[in-house]
Amino acid sequence: MSGTVKKVADVAAKAGKAIDWDGLGKMLVSEEARKEFATLRRTFEDVNHQLQTKFSQEPQPIDWEYYKKGIGSKVVDMYKEAYESIEIPKYVDTVTPEYKPKFDALVIELKEAEKASLKESERIEKEIAEMKEMKKKISTMTADEYFAKHPELKQKFDDEIRNDYWGY
């Protein structure tokens, strides 16, 4: 049991080091939020300190002889026997193996979605740049320049003219 508590204490210490308290504090705008944040930080540090000191140490062994002198050996032996018969069950993680493959699949799916999103973002950025360029040039652009950028429209207009279709 104490090994588990020690692991929790170690994780809490690492988490505390990973938190950018100053960076988070700079994001706060109101004085009330800063006060609440300071309280949260102090509380976190207090709990983390307790985990590091109080709970990370192995308990002191019981001095049974000391108690035998003061109470008597029969009662102490009874408590010692009961104490030594206690078995603290070890935690067996049955959840992680069940959900880890699902989580890993989601991570892969998210990475693929991120790649697709970045590609789409690049395409949109390129399209925006083209639109900005077009906006700058539209008042002085000739039809030939426009059709050079959009050959499909030139083909459409040429087909309409060839087929004697004038839109009415």
pLDDT in tens, 30-46: 888 889 989 998 998 88
| Tokens, residue 90 | 């070890």
**pLDDT for residue 6:** 60
d(CA 73, CA 78) in angstroms, rounded, equals 8
Mean pLDDT rounded to a whole number for the chain: 83
Q: What is the pLDDT of residue 10?
A: 65
Q: What is the pLDDT of residue 5?
A: 56
Confidence class for position 1, pLDDT limits 50, 70, 90: very low
Structure tokens at 163: 């087929």
Tens of pLDDT, residues 124-163: 999 999 889 888 888 888 888 888 888 998 898 888 888 8
**Which run of H or E residues covers position 168?**
none
DSSP, collapsed to helix, strand or coil, labels residue 1 as: coil
Question: Domain extents for the chain?
Answer: 1-72
Global pTM value:
0.36
Which three-class secondary structure string do you get for 29-76? CCHHHHHHHHHHHHHHHHHHHHHHHCCCCCCCCCCHHHHHHHCCHHHH
Joined together, the tokens standing for residue 126 give 């390129």
Q: Is the pLDDT of residue 24 over 90?
A: no
Higher-confidence position of 90 and 4 = 90
d(CA 30, CA 38): 13
Cα dihedral 25, 27, 32, 38, rounded to 10, equals: -10
Which region among 17-26, 30-39, 72-81, 119-128 has the lowest average model confidence (pLDDT)? Answer: 17-26
